[in-house]
């Protein structure tokens, strides 16, 4: 891990870390961290495929506008990974196309 | 020459070029930079009462089919003959809707009554408890900006010239008053015929030619949801109140939900109507009402996020009919504007009729109801 992590740069003192599950794998996260940030930190860059061509998608805008980073959280599809906070024990699964209706 | 590269101007340029006329299309902005780019792409016969506008809509529906085959608009402009479904929530509204549909059928519209227990077969996600509806198989949908761009390209393929970013600043007249072209910020364009297809700004172009055409803006918002699975909403679905709202002369806000899916996945929710000039300010109360009305039709949308909303200005004339045809007050000037919220659907018929006027062919429809000089001096003074 680089010593120039954002946590260090901001002199952040986050609470105890936790994990959530993504596609059957444990992903470490800090309190308040977005699902997308935690996935990126764990080296996961894509978690959705497009509806027509099945092309991979992850974070595009990163600020909740583009709806490209949709992911299913605890069975609820269509959640924007970039603005959805991770919680201990969350079950996050990749999403194909536009997912199912809520 | 045609002023305005929205859907109507594009159709006029295409039909003029196809008729063998040397055609120039100008717009101060890009293709579909005005109302065309701010609509939903409704090709509706369902909301038209028997009369001149319905005649225009039926002619257009036939022409749309030909355009779609020739220019592959299904693949390139999301043309989809999905049909419309108009629903009524109560018995009284249903009776009025069925009467309206019966009159439409006598004018050649396919309008099939749907009993309450038949609604979910057509539209499985529709709310429970609606009184019934009418299915309109002739209603269709297109992505309007793409469709306008395809028609402009087709017109260019036939030899038409298109100049964008070119603002008309004056209409040139001969000493005896006939139109002989336009002056633009990029030079003069000489032409014996000028078609005013400037949509909501058609009154300004008419004024440049010294004539009054009282086109005014009627603002609308459209909500865009996140992409949803295909066939969540299958038709153009709207409440029967929509027709009354379209015909209303009130300046106040009217909203009635029109719900339809798009090829890319998002569902569009229209349609509000307000007379507030060219004010583009976002209005949360308006879109909130639209969203609530859409939920009343499709409860499944309750937990769906909206990505954004967009707004545009429908060009309306006092009697809610467009101006189509030559203007006797300025020989050589033709109008093709003021279609209110129906310009995308009515564009092919408008272009076809204008080309007939320009080539001296007797128009397929009687243009008397669309005469640009039909308004009294009072009506023409907004």
Q: Is B119 left (phi over 0), alpha (psi -120 to 50) or beta?
A: alpha
Which among B286, B292, B204, B205 has a CA at the least distance from the CA of B253?
A: B286
Sort out which chain B residues have CB atoms less than 8 A from A98's CB and list them. Answer: 226-229, 265
pLDDT value at position A102? Answer: 65
Distance of CA B19 to the CA centre of its chain: 23
For B104-157, what is each residue's pLDDT tens digit? 999 999 999 999 999 999 999 999 999 999 999 999 999 999 999 999 999 999
Give the pLDDT band of residue A1 (cuts 50, 70, 90). very low
The b-or-e profile of A29-44 (16+ CB within 10 A means b, else e) is bbeebbbbbbbbbeeb
Is residue A53, in this structure, part of any structural domain at all?
yes
- Name, in order, each residue with C-beta under 8 angstroms of A50's C-beta and a sequence gap of 6 or more: A57, A97
The stretch B293-304 carries a mean pLDDT of 94
Interface test with A, best of B75, B267, B303 (most A CBs within 10 A): B303
Is residue A71, in this structure, part of any structural domain at all?
yes
State how far the Cα of B346 lies from the Cα of B273, in Å rounded to an integer. Answer: 19
Is residue A11, in this structure, part of any structural domain at all?
no
Are A101 and B304 within 8 A, CB to CB? yes
B229 reaches A (C-beta below 8 A):
yes
Are A78 and B305 within 8 A, CB to CB? yes
Higher-pLDDT residue of B241 and A48 is: A48
Is residue A100, in this structure, part of any structural domain at all?
no
Residue of chain A minimizing CA distance to B265 = A98
Residue of chain B minimizing CA distance to A79 = B305
State how far the Cα of A73 lies from the Cα of A50, in Å rounded to an integer. Answer: 18
For B152-192, what is each residue's pLDDT tens digit? 999 999 999 999 999 999 999 999 999 999 999 999 999 99
Give the pLDDT band of residue A97 (cuts 50, 70, 90). confident
Print the domain residue range for A46.
18-95
Assess whether pLDDT exceeds 60 at residue B98.
yes
Dihedral sign, Cα of residue B102, residue B105, residue B109, residue B111? positive
Is residue A101, in this structure, part of any structural domain at all?
no
Sort out which chain A residues have CB atoms less than 8 A from B75's CB and list them. Answer: none
Task: Assign residue A91 the CATH number of its domain.
Answer: 3.10.20.440
The b-or-e profile of B288-297 (16+ CB within 10 A means b, else e) is ebbbebbbeb
Is residue A58, in this structure, part of any structural domain at all?
yes
The stretch B68-76 carries a mean pLDDT of 93
Assess whether pLDDT exceeds 60 at residue B382.
no
pLDDT value at position B154? Answer: 97
pLDDT value at position A77? Answer: 87
Residue of chain B minimizing CA distance to A66 = B307
State how far the Cα of B213 lies from the Cα of B192, in Å rounded to an integer. Answer: 21
B228 reaches A (C-beta below 8 A):
yes
The count of domains in chain A is: 1
Is residue A47, in this structure, part of any structural domain at all?
yes
What domains appear along chain B, each with residue ranges and CATH number?
2-74+143-214+319-370 (3.50.50.60), 84-137+216-316 (3.30.9.10)
E strand or H helix at B152, and its extent?
helix B144-157
* ipTM for the whole complex: 0.75
For A27-49, what is each residue's pLDDT tens digit? 999 999 999 999 999 999 999 99
A97 reaches B (C-beta below 8 A):
yes
- Name, in order, each residue with C-beta under 8 angstroms of A2's C-beta and a sequence gap of 6 or more: none
Sort out which chain A residues have CB atoms less than 8 A from B307's CB and list them. Answer: 65, 67
A5 CB-side CA count, 13 A: 10
Interface test with B, best of A82, A83, A98, A100 (most B CBs within 10 A): A98
Is residue A4, in this structure, part of any structural domain at all?
no
- Name, in order, each residue with C-beta under 8 angstroms of B165's C-beta and a sequence gap of 6 or more: B27, B28, B29, B30
């Amino acid at each position: 891990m680089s010593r120039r992590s954002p946590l260090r740069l901001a002199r952040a003192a986050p609470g105890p870390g936790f994990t959530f599950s993504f596609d059957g794998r444990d992903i470490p996260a800090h309190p308040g961290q977005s699902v997308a940030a935690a996935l990126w930190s764990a080296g996961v860059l894509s978690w959705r495929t497009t509806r027509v061509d099945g092309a991979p998608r992850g974070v595009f805008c990163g600020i909740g506008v583009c709806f490209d980073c949709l992911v299913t959280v605890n069975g609820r599809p269509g959640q924007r990974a970039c603005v959805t906070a991770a919680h201990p024990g969350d079950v996050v699964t990749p999403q194909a196309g536009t997912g199912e209706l809520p | 020459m045609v002023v305005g590269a929205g859907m109507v101007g594009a159709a006029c340029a295409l039909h003029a070029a196809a008729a063998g006329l040397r055609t120039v299309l100008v717009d101060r902005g890009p293709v579909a930079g005005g109302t065309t780019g701010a609509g939903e792409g409704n090709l509706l016969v369902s909301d038209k009462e028997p009369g001149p506008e319905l005649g225009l809509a039926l002619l257009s529906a036939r022409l749309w089919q030909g355009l779609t085959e020739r220019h592959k608009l299904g693949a390139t402009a999301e043309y989809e003959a999905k049909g419309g479904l108009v629903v009524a929530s109560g018995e009284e509204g249903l009776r009025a809707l069925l009467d309206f549909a019966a009159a439409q059928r006598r004018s050649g519209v396919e309008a099939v009554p749907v009993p309450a227990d038949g609604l979910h077969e057509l539209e499985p996600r529709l709310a429970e408890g609606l009184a019934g509806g009418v299915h309109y198989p002739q209603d269709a949908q297109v992505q309007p900006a793409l469709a306008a761009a395809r028609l402009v390209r087709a017109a260019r393929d036939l030899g038409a010239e298109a100049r964008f970013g070119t603002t008309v600043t004056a209409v040139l007249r001969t000493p005896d008053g006939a139109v002989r072209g336009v002056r633009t910020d990029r030079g003069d364009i000489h032409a014996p015929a000028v078609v005013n297809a400037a949509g909501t700004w058609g009154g300004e172009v008419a004024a440049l030619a010294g004539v009054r055409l009282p086109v005014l803006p009627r603002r609308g918002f459209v909500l865009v949801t996140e992409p949803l699975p295909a066939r969540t909403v299958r038709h153009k679905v709207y409440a029967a109140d929509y027709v009354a709202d379209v015909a209303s002369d009130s300046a106040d806000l009217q909203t009635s939900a029109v719900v339809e899916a798009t090829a890319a996945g998002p569902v569009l929710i229209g349609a509000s109507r307000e007379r507030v000039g060219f004010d583009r300010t976002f209005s949360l109360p308006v879109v909130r009402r639209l969203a609530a009305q859409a939920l009343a039709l499709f409860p499944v949308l309750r937990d769906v996020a909206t990505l954004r909303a967009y707004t545009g200005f429908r060009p309306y004339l006092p009697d809610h009919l467009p101006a189509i045809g030559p203007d006797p007050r300025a020989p050589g000037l033709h109008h093709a504007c003021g279609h209110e919220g129906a310009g995308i659907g009515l564009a092919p018929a408008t272009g076809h009729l204008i080309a007939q006027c320009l080539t001296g062919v007797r128009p397929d429809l009687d243009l008397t109801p669309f005469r640009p000089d039909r308004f009294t001096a009072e009506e023409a003074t907004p």
